[in-house]
């Protein structure tokens, strides 16, 4: 099948050339001529026309302005695409989260995973630190839900920057953790003057729990799962 080529009257081509000689952009010429001429066709009509330095500068400026106008729409489109992908992930994860949240073994494994990633061992205690209040709140809730907890064995300390209100931050983290202010130790203060933090930064909260039994169990659970995974992997190889 032959593709039929559309023909245009000579006067239309000549008008396009006149507009190009005057320094008009391709979109401007297409709009001036009625808006139904493909840009590749127009470019073929005027490709031999040399523009002045001033005309090229004007066209470049218009292209930059058009790009700037389109940038917010591109950013909005990108945000919507990202939101869509995040929502898809949330929809996929939600049924699993609801199923696992009441499961004691799943929660103990989550506590073990958090501990082995962000935890630390101390003299007769173990600790977990983070700057995210949701993560800290979840950590304390995991301990309280899954182990026989003695509230008097909890303690906290903060790592804050110079100039932050230590008293207010202790009250904030006390509300997050449910640990009374009397169990908060003296804060560690970072005196680096140029250190930048996000706007809602509340310092790092370190939660201590004085129990070797719980610490040993979390260590053993995490290491046991790691060993099983590595063993299965080596067998597969």
b/e code 172-203 from CB counts within 10 Å (16+ = b): bbbebbebeeebbeebeeeeeeeeeeeeeebb
Q: What is d(CA 228, CA 237) in angstroms, rounded to the nearest whole number?
A: 14
Asked if residue 129 lies in contact with residue 205, where contact means CB atoms within 8 angstroms, the answer is: yes
CB 139 within 8 A of CB 207: yes
Q: Which residue has the higher pLDDT, 142 or 67?
A: 142
Model confidence at 136: pLDDT above 70: yes
Q: List Cα–Cα distances, 13 to 5, 17, 153, 234, in angstroms.
A: 15, 6, 88, 73
- Give the pLDDT score at 4: 54
pLDDT tens for each residue of 41-67? 888 888 888 888 888 888 888 777 776
Helix (H) or strand (E) holding 161: strand 154-161
pLDDT above 50 (res 2): no
Q: CA dihedral in degrees (22, 23, 28, 34; nearest 10)?
A: 30
Domain residue ranges of the chain, discontinuous segments joined by +? 10-50, 104-236
Alpha carbon distances (Å) from 98 to 89, 93, 105, 139: 14, 9, 14, 18
In this prediction, residue 186 carries a pLDDT of: 92
SS3 state at 96: helix
Q: Assess contact for 142 and 114: CB atoms under 8 A.
A: yes
Judge whether residue 81 has pLDDT over 90.
Answer: no
| Mean pLDDT over each residue of the chain, to the nearest integer | 86
Residue 187 in contact with residue 166, Cβ under 8 Å? yes
Q: Which of 48-62, 93-107, 117-131, 178-192 has the lowest mean pLDDT?
A: 48-62
Q: Are 210 and 124 in contact (CB under 8 A)?
A: yes
pLDDT at position 86: 85
Taking only the tens place, the pLDDT of each residue in 13-45 is 898 888 888 888 888 888 888 878 888 888 888
Indicate if the pLDDT at residue 70 is higher than 80.
no
Nearest to 185 by CA among 213, 156, 160, 159: 156
CA 16 to chain centre: 49
- In terms of DSSP bridges, do strands 188-190 and 126-130 run parallel, antiparallel, or are they unpaired? unpaired
224 and 115 Cβ atoms separated by less than 8 Å:
no
C-beta separation of 160 from 190 below 8 A? yes
Mean pLDDT of 196-203: 80
């Amino acid at each position: 099948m032959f593709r039929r080529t559309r023909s245009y009257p000579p006067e239309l081509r000549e008008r396009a050339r006149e507009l190009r000689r005057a320094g008009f952009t391709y979109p401007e010429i297409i709009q001036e001529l009625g808006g139904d001429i493909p840009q590749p066709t127009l470019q073929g009509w005027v490709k031999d026309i040399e523009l002045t330095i001033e005309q090229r500068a004007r066209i470049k400026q218009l292209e930059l302005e058009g790009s700037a106008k389109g940038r917010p729409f591109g950013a909005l489109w990108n945000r919507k695409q990202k939101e869509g992908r995040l929502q898809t992930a949330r929809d996929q994860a939600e049924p699993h989260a609801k199923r696992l949240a009441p499961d004691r073994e799943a929660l103990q494994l989550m506590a073990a995973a958090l501990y082995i990633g962000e935890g630390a061992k101390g003299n007769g205690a173990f600790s977990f630190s983070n700057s995210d209040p949701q993560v800290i709140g979840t950590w304390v809730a995991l301990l309280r839900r899954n182990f026989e907890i003695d509230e008097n064995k909890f303690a906290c300390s903060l790592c804050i920057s110079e100039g932050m209100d230590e008293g207010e931050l202790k009250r904030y983290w006390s509300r997050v953790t449910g640990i009374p202010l009397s169990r908060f130790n003296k804060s560690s203060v970072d005196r680096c003057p140029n250190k930048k933090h996000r706007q809602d930064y509340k310092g790092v909260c370190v939660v201590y729990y004085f129990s070797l039994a719980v610490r040993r169990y979390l260590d053993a659970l995490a290491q046991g799962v790691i060993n099983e995974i590595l063993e299965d992997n080596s067998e597969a190889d």
